[in-house]
Amino acid sequence: MTIVFVSIALNIHQACVADELYKLTNGNFWFVETGDVDNDYSKGGDMNDFSSRPYLIRLADGKESVQKALRLIREVDVMIYAAAPLIFLKERIRTNKITFINSERWLKRGVINLLSPRLLKQQWYYHTSCHGKPFYALCSSAYAAGDFRLMQSFKKKCYKWGYFTAVPDIDIEVIQKAKRNASTVKILWVARFLQLKHPERMLQLASLLYREKVDFIINMIGTGPEYSKIEALIQRKGLKGVVHLLGSMHNSKVIETMRMHDIFCFTSDKNEGWGAVLNEAMSCGCCPVSSIETGSTPYLIKEGINGFSFNLKKKNDLFDKVLWLIKHPKERERMSIEAYKTIRDVWSPKNAAEQLYKLCQSMLQGENYVVEDGPCSKAE
């Protein structure tokens, strides 16, 4: 089988699954990067150089790369189309070969997003040229399938997908045992300090936990426009003893820090397309309490089994879930282990690539392949 992935840039959240697809296809996988390499399309706070990947084709390298990319788009068995100019999708659809669009949700702001010129252009092309074609959606948000349904697109053609981070090879049982004797429960928050990430929720949580007289600390990693405001609020609310701002941190150090914490809070609203930091925290055995509005939470969290979701609009919901975990250390440890297993066994780059490969193989052979859970299971 031959596969090409076309997107604006290869970044940290796609590279791991791309590596796995390259192995699975015995080198018959290519990633076409359509963006300007001088721009920063990196994710996760680090600049990563993927230029040495043998499967990478950068259109910015010149005419020869463009011609090779167009030839692959026409000839390969399967194409995955992500954030890239529409011309590449049009070139592919003409071939009547298997094609997937890889998409987060479109309607983050509701129906007003339907006025987006890019979305209007894409939907016009879909409804005038793509009906009846082997064209499917890989939904990198639990809300993408619902958005497509509202737009009358990809009916019964949506599959779960996401962003896939490297899974550390750790002894999760040993890591959890090492935390047992600590009297202070360590809570972590990692994000850019933006309004959509709601860092202020961690200060509200701290104030409520402080009143409960529980032994805890909250560490917050990141920088951004809201940083100074949060720093001032910590001072004003008298929370300096329990809330610590750790600033910017290299991704490898973030991963190390996650392993040393008990609970991870993910407080973003519906403007968070996916949120790969949740994958990372779970893969480090950090028990998640995650906003249900983010694209990743409904896919990754199994309520009360590998963590909790919470509703930003429900008063004290985050506090109630975190307090319960603090008061139930054995259950917290069990959930932390299950969180790690969820990423290692289901939402890993390796499993995602394998399930996609099997799904595509079955489509090429005219067979039916059903994935019960995780990547490439049906998205409703």
Query: Do both 285 and 321 map to the same domain?
Result: yes
Q: Terminus-to-terminus CA distance in the chain, angstroms?
A: 28
pLDDT-derived band at 338 (thresholds 50, 70, 90) equals very high
Query: Do both 145 and 182 map to the same domain?
Result: no
Query: Do both 153 and 258 map to the same domain?
Result: no
Query: Do both 156 and 285 map to the same domain?
Result: no
Residue 47 has pLDDT above 70, yes or no: no
Residue 44 has pLDDT above 60, yes or no: no
Name the residue with tokens 């489509």: 363
Query: Do both 9 and 141 map to the same domain?
Result: yes
> In the numeric block, which tokens belong to residue 175?
């890591």
pLDDT-derived band at 114 (thresholds 50, 70, 90) equals confident
Do residues 208 and 237 make contact, with C-beta atoms less than 8 angstroms apart? no
Q: 214-217 — which CB contacts under 8 Å span 24+ positions?
A: 214/185, 214/323, 214/326, 214/327, 215/183, 215/184, 215/185, 216/184, 216/185, 216/186, 216/187, 216/242, 216/326, 217/184, 217/185, 217/186, 217/187, 217/242, 217/243, 217/244
Answer with the residue of higher pLDDT: 46 or 118.
Answer: 118
pLDDT tens per residue, range 17-42:
999 999 999 999 999 999 864 454 44
Q: Is residue 226 part of a domain?
A: yes
Query: Do both 99 and 224 map to the same domain?
Result: no
Q: Is residue 309 part of a domain?
A: yes
- Dihedral angle over CA of 179, 164, 271, 254, nearest 10: 40
Q: Is residue 376 part of a domain?
A: no
Do residues 13 and 43 make contact, with C-beta atoms less than 8 angstroms apart? yes
pLDDT-derived band at 270 (thresholds 50, 70, 90) equals very high
Strand partners, 89: none
DSSP alpha helix (H) spans, 180-328: 200-211, 227-236, 251-259, 276-283, 297-300, 317-327
Q: Which residues are within 8 A (CB) of 90 and not within 5 positions of it... i.e. 6 or more apart?
A: 125, 129
Kindly report the backbone phi and psi dihedral angles of residue 111, in degrees, each rounded to the nearest multiple of 5, phi listed first: -65, -20
Range of 155's domain?
3-164+348-364
pTM (2 decimals)? 0.94
Query: Do both 151 and 242 map to the same domain?
Result: no
Type of residue at 202: M
Instruction: Measure the CA–CA gap between 282 and 299, rounded to whole angstroms.
Output: 13
C-alpha triplet 291, 297, 298: angle, nearest 5°: 115
Q: Is residue 377 part of a domain?
A: no
Nearest to 143 by CA among 105, 116, 114, 107: 105
Name the residue with tokens 């082997």: 134
Q: Say what the pLDDT of residue 36 is.
A: 62
Which DSSP letter does residue 10 get? -
- Dihedral angle over CA of 226, 227, 233, 236, nearest 10: -140
CATH number (domain holding residue 210): 3.40.50.2000
Query: Do both 218 and 303 map to the same domain?
Result: yes
Query: Do both 205 and 329 map to the same domain?
Result: yes
Q: Say what the pLDDT of residue 111 is.
A: 77
Q: Is residue 93 part of a domain?
A: yes
> In the numeric block, which tokens belong to residue 74?
């026409």
> In the numeric block, which tokens belong to residue 32?
């076409």
Q: Is residue 380 part of a domain?
A: no
Please compute the mean of the pLDDT values over residues 47-51 and round it to a whole number.
Answer: 74
Residue 242 has pLDDT above 50, yes or no: yes
Instruction: Measure the CA–CA gap between 124 and 358, rounded to whole angstroms.
Output: 31
Domain total for the chain? 2
Query: Do both 158 and 180 map to the same domain?
Result: no
What are the C-alpha distances in Å from 153 to residues 72, 123, 171, 287, 341? 26, 8, 44, 36, 34
Please compute the mean of the pLDDT values over residues 186-208 and round it to a whole number.
Answer: 98
Helix, strand or coil for residue 281?
A: helix
Q: Is residue 322 part of a domain?
A: yes
CB atoms within 10 A of CB 10: 24
Query: Do both 59 and 187 map to the same domain?
Result: no
Q: Is residue 369 part of a domain?
A: no
**From the CA atom positions of the chain, what is the Rg in Å?**
22
Query: Do both 182 and 328 map to the same domain?
Result: yes
Q: Say what the pLDDT of residue 40 is.
A: 45
Instruction: Measure the CA–CA gap between 332 and 117, rounded to whole angstroms.
Output: 46
Please compute the mean of the pLDDT values over residues 292-299 and round it to a whole number.
Answer: 98
Do residues 116 and 128 make contact, with C-beta atoms less than 8 angstroms apart? no
Instruction: Measure the CA–CA gap between 156 and 253, rounded to whole angstroms.
Output: 42
Nearest to 1 by CA among 81, 97, 92: 97
Q: What is the DSSP string of 59-79?
A: GGG-HHHHHHHHHHHHHSSEE
Name the residue with tokens 């090779």: 68
Kindly report the backbone phi and psi dihedral angles of residue 378, in degrees, each rounded to the nearest multiple of 5, phi listed first: -65, 135
Residue 312 has pLDDT above 60, yes or no: yes
> In the numeric block, which tokens belong to residue 242?
């329990």
